[in-house]
Amino acid sequence: MSTVWIASYPKSGNTWLRFMLYASLYGEPKRSADVPLRIPDIHRKMPFEPPESGPTYIKTHFQLTDQHPQINDTLKAIHIIRNPRDILLSALNYRKLAAKKSWSLKDTNKTFAKEFIKLGGGPGWLQNGFGSWASHARSWRNTDRFEVLNLRYEELKSDPVSGLKDILAFLDISRTDEEIELAVKHSSFDFMRALEIREKNADKSNDLSKRLFVGTSEASKKGHFFVNKGLSNQSLNTIAPGLDATFNSAWNTDLKEFGYLGS
């Protein structure tokens, strides 16, 4: 069995990318759990049906190292990178959504943001083997172990049809223009958000073995969704005045390396 990794730092569009690929391969997902059933998440145990033939597509947030699972079984990888400012803000939303113990809600947004800036990424993410934002990106985008398709979240968002065409070409998957347009529709933010709301309203038990989207219907009513706004180039000054300048100063070299300085 050969593995194709769908790799990203957390909160960078990995779930969206999996929806796009699922819709291209299998058609409209009727449930969010349909996606991990075919394209699993290495970090989360949910029902999975291995393909009868061809590669297995698997989500990973791990930094690429010699210790990465199934590294010797890897065929290709897709890596998607996102503006780290938007990642930080998305992480704050996820804290409210999931209320994870490792991300105590007693900490203020400003405290979390300053720690993120200082460490180069989410504190828990570094501990889990994801690395910093920059080291994670370098590990996947600069490897010569196997072929990697490098995507930018912002470009994929701007033109998802062209982006999906590039993805399918890289994976040697043939689809008509009509099929690609339909796959984009069935992985759009509107489609995913509607599916999230519908499933959470129907599942009062919060059984995460039955759906992909984390969070409860109560959190959704407060405006906290897994499929959040998906915005780009947001300002950190909404958290605290001057935070953008602090961020740019601390991350200057990394932002410049990956094309996000001043963006």
Q: Write the pLDDT tens digit of every residue in 47-58.
A: 888 888 889 999
CB-facing half-sphere around the CA of 121: CA atoms within 13 A: 23
pLDDT at 195 over 70: yes
- pTM for the whole structure: 0.90
Class of domain 3-257: alpha beta
What dihedral angle (degrees, nearest 10) is formed by the CA atoms of 156, 158, 164, 167?
-30
Residue 233's pLDDT band, with cuts at 50, 70 and 90, is confident
| Region of poorest pLDDT, from 70-79, 155-164, 217-226 | 217-226
Q: Is the dihedral of CA 100, 103, 104, 105 positive or negative?
A: negative
d(CA 164, CA 7): 16
Q: What pLDDT was estimated at residue 108?
A: 81
Q: Mention every residue, 6+ apart, whose C-beta is less than 8 A from residue 174.
A: 168
> Any alpha helices (H) in the chain, and if so which ranges?
14-26, 34-38, 84-98, 109-119, 123-127, 133-141, 153-158, 160-170, 177-185, 189-202, 217-221, 243-250, 252-257
d(CA 72, CA 69): 8
Q: What pLDDT was estimated at residue 212?
A: 72
Nearest to 70 by CA among 78, 58, 79: 58
Burial 124-144 (b: 16+ CB within 10 A, else e): ebbeeebbbbbbbbbbbbeee
DSSP helix/strand/coil, 150: strand
d(CA 220, CA 17): 22
> Could you tell me the maximum CA-CA distance found in the chain, to the nearest angstrom?
54
Q: What pLDDT was estimated at residue 207?
A: 67
